[in-house]
Amino acid sequence: MAQPADAANIARVIALRAGIPQSVPAVTVSRNCASGCEALTQAQEKIRAGQGSIFVVGGVESMSNIPLLFKSSTAEKFKHVARAKSFGQKARALAAFRAGDFQPRVGLLLGLTDPYCGLNMGDTAEILAREFHISRAEQDAFALRSHQRAVAARETLAGEICPVFPNLAQPINGHRPGTVLQDNGPRENQSADALAGLKPVFDGKTGDVTAGNSSQVTDGAVALLVMTSERARELGFKLLGALAGYAYAGCDPARMGLGPLFAIARAEAETGLALADADLIELNEAFAAQSLAVIKGAASDEFAKRFLHRNRPLGDFSADKLNVNGGAIALGHPVGATGARLVLTSLRELQRRDAARALVTLCVGGGQGAALWLERMSS
Amino acid sequence: MNTMVQEAESHEFVPRVIPPPEGRYLHRTVRDDGICVLTFDRPGSTANIFDRATLEELQHELDFIESGQNITGLILISAKPTIFIAGLDLRQITEMTSLADIGELLAFGQAQISRLTQLKIPTVAAIHGAAVGGGYEIALACDYRLATPDKVTKIGLPETNLGLLPAWGGATRLPRLVGLPRALDFILAGKTTSAQGALRLGLVDQLVPAERLVRAAARAIQKGKSHRPSHWLANNPLTVAFLAPPMRRRLFQKTRGHYPAVLKAFEVMSGGVTRSVSASLALERKGILELARSESTHNLLRLFFMRERAKKRVLNDSMPRLEPKPINHTAVIGAGVMGAGIAQWLSSRGLTVVLRDVNTGQVAHGMAGIAKLYQDGIRHHVFTHRDARDGLDRIAPAPAEVPLRHMDLVIEAAVEKLELKKKIFQKLDELAGEETILATNTSALPVSELASATRRPERVLGLHFFNPVHRMQLVEVVAGQATSPEALLRAVRFVQRIGKLPVIVKDSPGFLVNRILMPYLIEAGILFEHGADLEQLDEAMLDFGMPMGPMRLLDEVGLDVALHVAQTLAAHFGDRLRVPVILSRMVEARVLGRKSGTGFYLHDRKMRPNPPLKAFVQSNSAHSLTRDDLQERMYFLMLNEAARCLEEKVVSTPEDIDFAMIMGTGFAPFRGGPLRYADSLGIEKIVGAMEILADCGAKQYAPCVLLKQMASDGSKFYPNP
């Protein structure tokens, strides 16, 4: 996630402004796309270690507020202007600027590029589309399904949406936004034709990954209240669910989209819970190509043997369990918030279906995967 | 002797106490560098004030400083955490019976403060906390004024609000410091401002953190005496001659001659600025002696003491001795104008507020209204940007049901419908915690009936805020039949804590303020129906000293709201209160006052009478009444209803009524409230005049039992003036 320039520890700013007492510490964690999961799993670790019994965890991302940046050579020139004393020095310093100095570096793009392998996230999705033989049509169909499910689930999802009444005392980027009552990502009128008509974004000549079959750039925030079941009983809270186990795993940064496969395998090794045990699965839709590659990889004997070092494949992502309320292609992927949002959505859906267990899994830019097993509490 | 160490010490300015500290109110230390620090520290009090004894000590200290050989400068400072000097002890003034005594005390104080300006050494007022009235006037007599930027630091000359004028050199020295126009603006409005505001206006020279006040003051002393010339452009005789006459006219129009202190302050300041300082000081003394004689000043001073009492009031002896649990977490049910107004006020006072409404759009509308109140506050320097942000952050908008278990107080501010409110109270009863107080902001519905919809009526009461919430200081705390003394005390403390003024009233129709106001407003409507001129009606009451005429007020309140209150009252009071037909006909025609754009007036760019309303005029019988006749008829009804409230023990004392009417409706403050005014007119005379009107068929004028009885035995509401 992109750390805001004006809030070095955004968690502390949020905690204070939310009225959490000053004496309660706050920390911002980052595991890129799985930061929302990281916040939750760290809370569990701390509770287990006896470091506190109640935590507010979550995630936030305002991708519309990620600033444009100057190149460091431009910044250097600004520094000379600021240091210049005499008029002559100032004039000389100003004269050093060239038009090219003012071409901004887009913070959003920088954030979505892996500095290690030098690839944009979309490029990594293109690699998966090629290597797993995922057609443009398959990707678009996956994207369309995401929209259809999200639109159908509007009412269900409304229950987890807290209307946002922006603090109007502080204009945001000079304008005063109105009340936000629902997700603005899902498109009622999304058609297969419209998706098919889009140009590829990352590989303009031969690519298949378009704006339509990628997750949306979105603002979003989510908060979860986490505590031990004893504390919840004491304070009279009803429990939504519990975190039964989790695992993070690393993989090739250029194929970061496969991260879920590695994480699910590790989680299975640690908890004994396999893909087949899930009543519901939330697989973050970073890209349709990436999600489809995960689905194919999970079913593949060869992938299991070569990369997961096991004899049997992970299993099936059956369509009636997977992303039943749509995913990031329709709802958006506010990077810092998504992990915690998927946890909330899956726990509420478990309750709605009166089902027992859900798997939340995400790929993570930089080559990681996260897999969280959640259970409904029998109260 | 180690000179090195000594030098280092003198550099650090280690204070050396010079005995004897015989002073009770003032402590003197003379530092090694010769700077004398006079610390005001009234024993056994959180405030410093000027009374006879303090002034005498100041005289003694000035004697010492004048005779002292090695004193290089003087710093005035306070030892109190929130008050520099709060001005003259007003109680001492009101206890003085002879004018000569008052004159003598004032002249003595003026003389001591003026001596400061004649000292040969530089003088600095190091202000932390409130410096108001005489407390700022002594600072004005210094060469330099430093202040801390803290919230507790306030600079003000509120004398005209009390019917007085700043007569310890304030009216003389402020115009010389900041120019006559700015000084008039400050003193005539009786303003008090923040440290930042004071710096902007030039009332102080510099803002300094409290810990560095003395250090900065010592540095200012090193600059030597200040030789600030009077503002030559603003204060020369020509400018004054040019500016004064139109300003005098405007002032007279605005006050309608009711506030002699404002006019007197104006005369003293505009007259004094072109004269010598001593001549100007003489004008101040003369002015204040004239004011001390006026009834208006007495009433304004009484009002001041009533406010002080309301801020601290303890309930009567039957009340629990234990201080109740403070209220920090609140919820407001209903995000309309009142709900949003209450939520904004509470959040601005540091309380958290859940703003709940079933209608999401209404929540958004309420939040936008709250944001606007904060923005206006920023514009008027009431809030900083951060105050506003924090205030808004403390409000949690809730378009869905939320648990209220941890709330200390829930205030219901929904639409005025009894059945709806009862349902809300049933629900609140379930959602709220054991210790949550449930309050209604109803202006007319019976609190006890709402309470009976809950399982625990003892924790239900009324908290009636007035519109607009951020400006109206009064809150009626309504005790239902079952309300427990604990809950009542907790509510009163809450009202005091949020900076409002509570008045405890019995649960009866219209409570206190609306009940007394309504017959008056209705009478205005009836008089209009009978041919009285719209603007004459309003002018008559503006002349009386009301802040707004009755017809205009009806428009502002909203005719539908007024009709609802009027009908509720009429249902209880029978033919004593007759709702004029015109009100219901206007409401039927959706002519609702300001909110609909048309009412008795048309509310577009310039307010003017609404011509089609002539159609509602039924007769001409009131057409020939003079302004004075109209005025008398209208205030008679207020006086009568006020007396009836006392008769029915809606409140316990006449002060409560007078105070509530002044704070809740702006009832001419200089008249001291309806009952004080009745006393000053003579009750026998009023009863006589009312009976004549009643005999002519206007039954609403029949004086109440209490008035008649008082007329016959010649008693007064306030036997001891």
3-class DSSP state for residue B503? strand
Span A198-217, average pLDDT: 93
State the total domains in chain A: 1
Whether residue B371 and residue A163 make contact (CB cut-off 8 A), yes or no, is no
Q: What is the pLDDT of residue A67?
A: 76
Lowest mean pLDDT among A214-228, A328-342, B5-19, B420-434: B5-19
Q: What is the pLDDT of residue B2?
A: 40
Span A58-76, average pLDDT: 83
Exposure string of B30-40, with b = 16+ CB inside 10 Å and e = fewer, is bbeeebbbbbb
Number of Cβ within 10 Å of residue A148's Cβ equals: 16
Set of chain A residues whose Cβ sits within 8 Å of the Cβ of B365:
none
Q: What is the DSSP letter of B79?
A: -
Whether residue B367 and residue A168 make contact (CB cut-off 8 A), yes or no, is yes
Q: What is the pLDDT of residue A85?
A: 87
Q: What is the pLDDT of residue A317?
A: 95
Task: Give the active site residue among B27, B231, B298, B464.
Answer: B464
The partner residue sitting opposite B392, judged by closest CB among A169, A178, A236, is A169
How close A292 comes to chain B (CA, Å)? 38
Whether residue B397 and residue A168 make contact (CB cut-off 8 A), yes or no, is no
Number of Cβ within 10 Å of residue A4's Cβ equals: 16
Q: What is the pLDDT of residue B5?
A: 38
A171: pLDDT strictly greater than 80: no
Span A160-186, average pLDDT: 77
pLDDT digit string (tens) for B255-269?
Answer: 888 889 999 999 999
Span B322-337, average pLDDT: 92
pLDDT digit string (tens) for B73-94?
Answer: 999 999 999 999 998 888 887 7
How close B397 comes to chain A (CA, Å)? 7
Whether residue A169 and residue B394 make contact (CB cut-off 8 A), yes or no, is no
Cα distance between the two ends of chain A: 36
Number of Cβ within 10 Å of residue B433's Cβ equals: 13
Q: Could you tell me if residue A253 is inside a domain?
A: yes
pLDDT digit string (tens) for B658-671?
Answer: 999 999 999 999 99
Q: Report all structural domains of chain B as residue ranges with CATH numbers, in order of start.
A: 17-292 (3.90.226.10), 329-507 (3.40.50.720), 533-713 (1.10.1040.50)
Task: Tell me which residue of B7, B50, B3, B5 sits closest to B26, measured CA to CA.
Answer: B50
Whether residue A18 and residue B389 make contact (CB cut-off 8 A), yes or no, is no
B323: pLDDT strictly greater than 90: no
How close A107 comes to chain B (CA, Å)? 27
Q: What is the pLDDT of residue B314?
A: 63
**Is B651 within 8 Å of B512 (Cβ atoms)?**
yes
DSSP B259-298: -HHHHHHHHHHHHHTTS-HHHHHHHHHHHHHHHHT-HHHH
Distances (CA, A) of B327 to A16, B323, B437, B496: 20, 12, 9, 11
B355, B358, B367: best to mutate for the A interface, most A CBs within 10 A: B367
DSSP A126-145: HHHHHHTT--HHHHHHHHHH
Q: What is the pLDDT of residue A329?
A: 97
- Give the CA-trace dihedral at B512, B514, B515, B519, to 10 degrees: 150
B348, B374, B393, B401: best to mutate for the A interface, most A CBs within 10 A: B393
Whether residue B388 and residue A169 make contact (CB cut-off 8 A), yes or no, is yes
Q: Is A333 among the catalytic positions?
A: yes
Which residues neighbour B261 within 8 Å (Cβ) at sequence distance 6 or greater? B159, B160, B162, B163, B164, B165, B291, B296, B297, B300
Span B532-561, average pLDDT: 93
Set of chain A residues whose Cβ sits within 8 Å of the Cβ of B399:
163
Pairing verdict, β B35-40 and B73-78 = parallel
Query: Residue A77 and residue A98: Cα distance in Å, rounded?
Result: 10
Whether residue B393 and residue A167 make contact (CB cut-off 8 A), yes or no, is yes
Q: At residue B118, what is the residue type?
A: Q
Task: Give the active site residue among A33, A37, A147, A251.
Answer: A33
If pLDDT is split at 50, 70 and 90, which confidence band does B615 have? confident
Set of chain B residues whose Cβ sits within 8 Å of the Cβ of A168:
367-368, 371, 375, 392
If pLDDT is split at 50, 70 and 90, which confidence band does A290 have? very high
B367: pLDDT strictly greater than 90: yes
Cα distance between the two ends of chain B: 69
Which residues neighbour B458 within 8 Å (Cβ) at sequence distance 6 or greater? B482, B483, B484, B487
Span A276-300, average pLDDT: 97
Residue A276 CB-density burial (10 A; 0-12 exposed, 13-18 middle, 19+ buried): exposed
A39: pLDDT strictly greater than 70: yes
Number of Cβ within 10 Å of residue B470's Cβ equals: 17
The enclosing domain of A162 has a CATH number of 3.40.47.10
Exposure string of B564-584, with b = 16+ CB inside 10 Å and e = fewer, is bbbebbbeebeebbbbbebbe
Q: Could you tell me if residue A109 is inside a domain?
A: no
Taking all residues of chain B, what is their mean pLDDT, rounded to a whole number? 90
Residue B230 CB-density burial (10 A; 0-12 exposed, 13-18 middle, 19+ buried): middle
pLDDT digit string (tens) for B122-162?
Answer: 999 999 999 999 999 999 999 999 999 999 999 999 999 99
Span B441-450, average pLDDT: 92
Which residues neighbour A81 within 8 Å (Cβ) at sequence distance 6 or greater? A90, A93, A94
The answer to whether A95 contacts chain B (CB < 8 Å) is: no
If pLDDT is split at 50, 70 and 90, which confidence band does B232 have? confident
Span A154-167, average pLDDT: 87
If pLDDT is split at 50, 70 and 90, which confidence band does B3 have? very low
Q: Is A162 among the catalytic positions?
A: no
Span B310-336, average pLDDT: 82
A168, A182, A237: best to mutate for the B interface, most B CBs within 10 A: A168
3-class DSSP state for residue A151? helix
Exposure string of A26-48, with b = 16+ CB inside 10 Å and e = fewer, is bebbebbbbbbbbbbbbbbeebe
Q: Could you tell me if residue A206 is inside a domain?
A: yes
Q: What is the pLDDT of residue B15?
A: 45
Span B315-329, average pLDDT: 76
pLDDT digit string (tens) for B625-677?
Answer: 999 999 999 999 999 999 999 999 999 999 999 999 999 999 999 999 999 99
How close B334 comes to chain A (CA, Å)? 16
Whether residue B393 and residue A168 make contact (CB cut-off 8 A), yes or no, is no
Domain extent at residue A16: 1-85+116-374
The partner residue sitting opposite A163, judged by closest CB among B374, B375, B399, is B399
Instruction: Considering only residues B325 and A266, tell me which one the structure prediction assigns the higher pLDDT.
Output: A266
Query: Residue B351 and residue B329: Cα distance in Å, rounded?
Result: 6
Q: Where would I find the H helices in B31-146?
A: 52-67, 90-95, 99-118, 134-140
Cis peptide preceding B15, ω within 30 of 0: no
Q: Could you tell me if residue A2 is inside a domain?
A: yes
**Is B108 within 8 Å of B157 (Cβ atoms)?**
no
The partner residue sitting opposite A167, judged by closest CB among B363, B378, B392, is B392
The partner residue sitting opposite B352, judged by closest CB among A17, A19, A169, is A19
Q: What is the pLDDT of residue B9?
A: 39
Instruction: Considering only residues A2 and B451, tell me which one the structure prediction assigns the higher pLDDT.
Output: B451
pLDDT digit string (tens) for A277-288?
Answer: 999 999 999 999
Whether residue A169 and residue B397 make contact (CB cut-off 8 A), yes or no, is no
Span B589-593, average pLDDT: 91
The answer to whether A49 contacts chain B (CB < 8 Å) is: no
Q: Could you tell me if residue A220 is inside a domain?
A: yes
Q: Could you tell me if residue A359 is inside a domain?
A: yes
B699: pLDDT strictly greater than 90: no
Bridge partners for B85 per DSSP: B131
Percent of chain B surpassing pLDDT 70? 95
Q: What is the pLDDT of residue B8?
A: 38
Q: What is the pLDDT of residue B10?
A: 41
Q: Could you tell me if residue A379 is inside a domain?
A: no
Query: Residue B53 and residue B41: Cα distance in Å, rounded?
Result: 13
Whether residue B360 and residue A236 make contact (CB cut-off 8 A), yes or no, is no
Question: Would you say how long chain B is, in residues?
Answer: 721
The answer to whether A181 contacts chain B (CB < 8 Å) is: yes
Query: Residue B594 and residue B559: Cα distance in Å, rounded?
Result: 9
Q: What is the DSSP letter of B414?
A: -
The answer to whether A18 contacts chain B (CB < 8 Å) is: yes
Task: Give the active site residue among A37, A147, A251, A363.
Answer: A363
3-class DSSP state for residue B609? strand
Lowest mean pLDDT among B15-19, B235-239, B431-435: B15-19
Pairing verdict, β B26-31 and B15-16 = antiparallel
Q: Could you tell me if residue A281 is inside a domain?
A: yes
Q: What is the pTM of this model?
A: 0.86
- What was the ipTM of the complex prediction? 0.83
Span B23-49, average pLDDT: 92
B688: pLDDT strictly greater than 80: yes
